[in-house]
Amino acid sequence: MSKIPLDLRASIRHFAFTLGNGTLDIQLLGDIDYRPALVAFGSELEMVFTIFTNLLEVDEGGTVTNYDHAARRAAEWIREYCDPDYVVEPAFADWETELA
């Protein structure tokens, strides 16, 4: 059985680190302390990782080619969840939020 490529593992680890320490997309999320809201029930955190991993693209060599875009879309979901006045543009497509 093959392992998940190193670059993909590193991207997921980096995303989890910035999400967990409150520094995910500071320009978009600013002062919002989203962490308590995401772990209260767990399904919110599940959706953040779902969006991030549904959007990640990997080339033939196993290198992630769109980390920033995938992380930004996940951050947009967090912002919309925490800030009722924020509207995500473009709206999420069904495939972006589809649970595996």
> In the chain, where does DSSP find H-type helix?
6-20, 26-29, 35-39, 43-55, 67-82
pLDDT of residue 1: 53
pLDDT of residue 41: 82
Domain residue ranges of the chain, discontinuous segments joined by +: 6-97
pTM above 0.85, yes or no: yes
pLDDT of residue 4: 83
pLDDT average per 10 residues of sequence, the chain (100 residues) = 83 96 94 90 92 95 95 98 96 96
Look at residues 18, 8, 19, 14 and name the one whose alpha carbon lies nearest to residue 44. Answer: 19
Separation of alpha carbons 59 and 20, rounded Å: 27
pLDDT of residue 3: 73
Return the number of other C-beta atoms located less than 10 Å from residue 43's C-beta.
11
CA 92 from centre of chain: 13
pLDDT of residue 39: 87
